[in-house]
Structure 1
Amino acid sequence: MVATSLHLLETFNLYPDLITFVPIIVPHIDGLPPGAETTSDVPVHLQPLIMTAMDRTKSDIELLLLNLKPDIVVFDFAYWLPKLARSLVSLSIKLHNHEAREFAALKAMKFGSNVIFYDRLCASLSQCDATGFRTCREIEGSYIDNLGSHFGKPVFLSGPIIPNPPTSTLEEKWIKWLGKFKARSIIYCALGSECTLKRYQFQELVLGFELSGWPFLAALKPPLGAGSIEEALPEGLEERVQGRGVVHGGWVQQLRIFEHPSIGCFITHCGLSSLFEGLMNQCQLVLFPHAGDQYFNARIMSNNLKVGVEIEKEEEDGLFTKESVCKAVRTVMEDDNEVGREVKANHAKLRDLLSSEYLESSYIDSFCQNLQDLVG
């Protein structure tokens, strides 16, 4: 908003809580009368100079866009704005040093038939006729476009493919245990069938649950080197959390547990299936990635979409503490936390979007049609 026009339009702002005018100082151009900032300030033959003056606000506009991070930019004669706005959209996802080292190792790691993992993946992507992914543009649109452009191949999206509600009922022991607690008060943690923590990771995680003060149910595998869950638990933990904390070493009915009103947050390893299951339910997301695409999934959810909070880890070695676990949990569980409120609101919007029958059917129909077109 041109600074001199600001006071004139403020009186017409019917939604001051929703619309904020930001002043822009238009630089003086030789040939313009003093104070001229809009086309209404000058005769027609001087209007091109107003355009030149507006073009010289480009650096100020760039700073505003960097700070405001708008979803939509509306413009008229500022021909340079589309290119500028696109340049500010980052297609990168920041990896911590320990994560980057994991990916660098894939360039040397042999993964069956004496073929390096990285070569196997690149050959698949470069030699195929098309690629397909279980995702949607609403979540990963800019990255999908970049991938298609990089490999010069069409990218087919199936959508999120949300599982149907289970027909089974929750085990009676879990119904009784979960039913002891008030709504949205329980931490539920499950890290998938392939994630096995180191002993110190396992212990810091459950100590973080204890430190939070909230009741918790954790479905975890015994850590590396431990024969059982009980053997690996921190000394005295069972006694201290008796009645409000359970670390279970077996399989649980995750979808049914999500449906229980007492579940408040879900600590996930950020595998895609678990993420979608968590997104479709009322529980808030605490992100705890461990390998591969889980890092990317976590950054998209926490930094781009802001629908979850990631547990903080050390940059170099990936170590985390019980305090960092507790901090992430409290962020999403406590009603008076500003970040938590933002995450809950964003999660609710995305859940409503993903729940749309039209969204799912349109992606599936498009995916099938793309495959038919591919084979002619």
Structure 2
Amino acid sequence: MDSSSPLHVLMFPYLAFGHISPFLQLARKLCAAGDVRITFLSAAANLSRIQSLLPALPSVTVVPLQLPALPGLPAGAESTADLPADSPAVELLKLAVDGTRPQVELLLRELRPHLAVFDFGMHWLPAVAEPLGVRTVFFSVFAAVSTAYFTVPARRLHGPNPTLEDLKAPPTGFPAGDASSIRSVPYYQAANFLYIFKSFNGGPCLYERVVKCIESCSAIMAKTSVEMEGPYIDYVERQFGKPMLLTGPLAPEPPKGKLETRWAKWLGGFPKGAVVFSSFGSETFLTDDGARELLLGLEMSGLPFLVVLNFPAKRVPGGTNLPGGGGAEEELRKRLPEGFEERVQGRGIVHSGWVQQQHILRHESVGCFVCHAGLSSVMEGVVAGCRLVMMPQKGDQYVNAKLFAGDLGIGVEVERRDEDGWFAREAVFAAVRKVMPPPVMTEEDEEESENGMWKKVKEKHGKWREFLMNKELQDGYVVELVERMRKLANA
């Protein structure tokens, strides 16, 4: 490519907004850093929401793809948000993405971008793009530790169907000693990881898709940094024999607008840093028992709290196909312990539905964030200045929690039972107490806050928050990324 011409990048994330959002964030960063033009692909039904997240970016063109109709995939379902989390149709969505291959090939022939940045669902894309002279970059929206633990060739040593014992241990050559806090994982987490190797509807399993993506592409891209994940980055590069292009951690951008009056008024009634905020995102759900123990543990803390509990999508008469459907409040009431509302009146709120998470986290009264350890949520919590209590529920969340609590020393995990992951209210209370001072401080508490976990977490948190908030450093990552992408396009 001519060094004076814009770098044309085609971007194709998987059809889940947990994947689309990091691609959009990357698109905004690339456009701000240099002379870059982007063509963004997604299913037609997602375009309006995508365009609303790309204001004042004329260098980005959003192109709709038509998903093929598949038996079992509801009409109009064009992202995971349109489907119940436990629906078999979630797996059919991967096959629908596979069905867009002819459209994508035609676009690549017409547009001839310099690079195609793609996601795990498109293991076939390099075979289409590379013969056309379009270099391909697999963009992992997960932490490097996730790729290192789950989807490296060393996992093949166990064959196509690894056992629970296989998955409890890291793969051969995984960082050890001081380089990683992960020595093994408990039984219930290994059981969850079996999903990665399960095939649905005759398609390739998740492991096969990801490894094929990485083995076939020109380079790997990850939203991380050497400072945070150096040993895992090195390991992945060695495993695949190809470079990792680092975007930097892609710290969340400041939210637009203001916090809703009802939340601002309620939070404003408490001292600085006193409130515990808990949310598990839009696609991670606690069991009934888990919700009860969480609420009772927060009640035990004596601290004010705001908890967001959402439920798997369902259709109810007169309702909508959204988390909780039309019966969200009814679902919420079912999970509240007897007498709970009366006991916590004035200091505890439980809500179902969407909230302005970043605005809430950044409110001066919020001091602790109890979350599922999703990568974006953890980053939002750290940047907002909140101490972390992590309760991972599935997949990459488990290794994220170990990265942040174990390797980086930011926050703590709630203690769980090894065989099934069950946790007690006392464990929630203990985890919150490790990072938050009690509402009334005794002399013993004061001594503990000076010499114990509170101080250590505060120091570590301050260090990494400063790193993530260093605009010059973060912008430098993206500038270097654009330079490496240009070199790759010319290779």
TM norm structure 1: 0.73
Q: 2: distance between equivalents of 1:87 and 1:246?
A: 43
User: What is residue 384 of structure 2 aligned with on the other side?
Assistant: 281
- Aligned pair partner of 1:347 in 456, 461, 467: 461
- Aligned pair partner of 1:254 in 347, 354, 357: 357
Could you give the per-residue CA deviations for residues 240-264 of structure 1, whole angstroms, max 9, x where no partner exists? Answer: 1111100110111111112211101
Q: 2: distance between equivalents of 1:148 and 1:371?
A: 17
Q: 2: distance between equivalents of 1:151 and 1:168?
A: 43
Per-residue deviation, 1:90 = 3.8
Q: 2: distance between equivalents of 1:255 and 1:151?
A: 36
1:296 aligns with 2:399: yes
User: What is residue 192 of structure 2 aligned with on the other side?
Assistant: 102
How is 1:154-233 mapped onto 2 (pairs within 5 angstroms)? Answer: 154-222=243-311, 227=327, 228-233=331-336
Q: Residue type matched to 1:299 in 2?
A: K
How is 1:299-310 mapped onto 2 (pairs within 5 angstroms)? Answer: 299-310=402-413
Q: 2: distance between equivalents of 1:265 and 1:88?
A: 30
In structure 2, relative to structure 1, the CA distance for the partners of 1:259 and 1:302 (3 Å cut) is same
Per-residue deviation, 1:88 = 3.7
How is 1:297-336 mapped onto 2 (pairs within 5 angstroms)? Answer: 297-334=400-437, 336=448
Runs of 4+ displaced beyond 6 Å: 223-226
Q: 1: distance between equivalents of 2:256 and 2:435?
A: 30
Q: 2: distance between equivalents of 1:198 and 1:270?
A: 17
In structure 2, relative to structure 1, the CA distance for the partners of 1:224 and 1:204 (3 Å cut) is farther
Could you give the per-residue CA deviations for residues 262-311 of structure 1, whole angstroms, max 9, x where no partner exists? Answer: 10100111111111111112211111111111111100111111111111
- Aligned pair partner of 1:121 in 210, 233, 249: 210
1:361 aligns with 2:361: no
1:151 aligns with 2:151: no
Per-residue deviation, 1:359 = 1.4
In structure 2, relative to structure 1, the CA distance for the partners of 1:111 and 1:279 (3 Å cut) is farther
How is 1:20-99 mapped onto 2 (pairs within 5 angstroms)? Answer: 88-91=177-180, 93=182, 94-99=184-189
CA contact (8 A) 1:266 1:283 kept: yes
- Bigger drift between 157-166 and 337-346 goes to 157-166
Per-residue deviation, 1:87 = 7.1
Per-residue deviation, 1:371 = 1.4
Q: 2: distance between equivalents of 1:184 and 1:88?
A: 35
Q: 2: distance between equivalents of 1:113 and 1:365?
A: 42
Per-residue deviation, 1:112 = 6.0
Per-residue deviation, 1:105 = 3.8
- Unmatched runs of 5 consecutive residues or more in structure 2: 1-174, 315-323, 438-445
- Bigger drift between 227-236 and 212-221 goes to 227-236
1:264 aligns with 2:367: yes
The SS at the match of 2:384 is coil
Per-residue deviation, 1:166 = 2.0
CA contact (8 A) 2:310 2:352 kept: yes
- Aligned pair partner of 1:140 in 210, 229, 238: 229
The SS at the match of 2:402 is helix
CA contact (8 A) 1:199 1:223 kept: no
1:243 aligns with 2:346: yes
Q: How many residues align?
A: 290
In structure 2, relative to structure 1, the CA distance for the partners of 1:113 and 1:129 (3 Å cut) is farther
Q: 1: distance between equivalents of 2:209 and 2:225?
A: 25
If you compute each CA radius of gyration, which structure gives the higher value, 1 or 2?
Answer: 1
Q: Residue type matched to 1:290 in 2?
A: Q
Per-residue deviation, 1:179 = 1.0
Could you give the per-residue CA deviations for residues 312-339 of structure 1, whole angstroms, max 9, x where no partner exists? Answer: 1111111100000000001100263401
CA contact (8 A) 1:170 1:253 kept: yes
TM norm structure 2: 0.57
Q: 2: distance between equivalents of 1:111 and 1:192?
A: 25
CA contact (8 A) 1:222 1:232 kept: no
CA RMSD of aligned residues (A): 1.9
Q: 2: distance between equivalents of 1:363 and 1:372?
A: 14
Could you give the per-residue CA deviations for residues 58-105 of structure 1, whole angstroms, max 9, x where no partner exists? Answer: xxxxxxxxxxxxxxxxxxxxxxxxxxxx97434572311111122134
Could you give the per-residue CA deviations for residues 172-209 of structure 1, whole angstroms, max 9, x where no partner exists? Answer: 11111001111111100011110111111111111111
CA contact (8 A) 1:255 1:277 kept: yes
In structure 2, relative to structure 1, the CA distance for the partners of 1:314 and 1:343 (3 Å cut) is same
Per-residue deviation, 1:167 = 2.6
| Identical counterparts, % of pairs | 41
CA contact (8 A) 2:371 2:391 kept: yes
In structure 2, relative to structure 1, the CA distance for the partners of 1:174 and 1:297 (3 Å cut) is same
Q: 2: distance between equivalents of 1:173 and 1:122?
A: 47
In structure 2, relative to structure 1, the CA distance for the partners of 1:135 and 1:122 (3 Å cut) is same
Q: 2: distance between equivalents of 1:89 and 1:260?
A: 36
Q: 1: distance between equivalents of 2:206 and 2:177?
A: 33
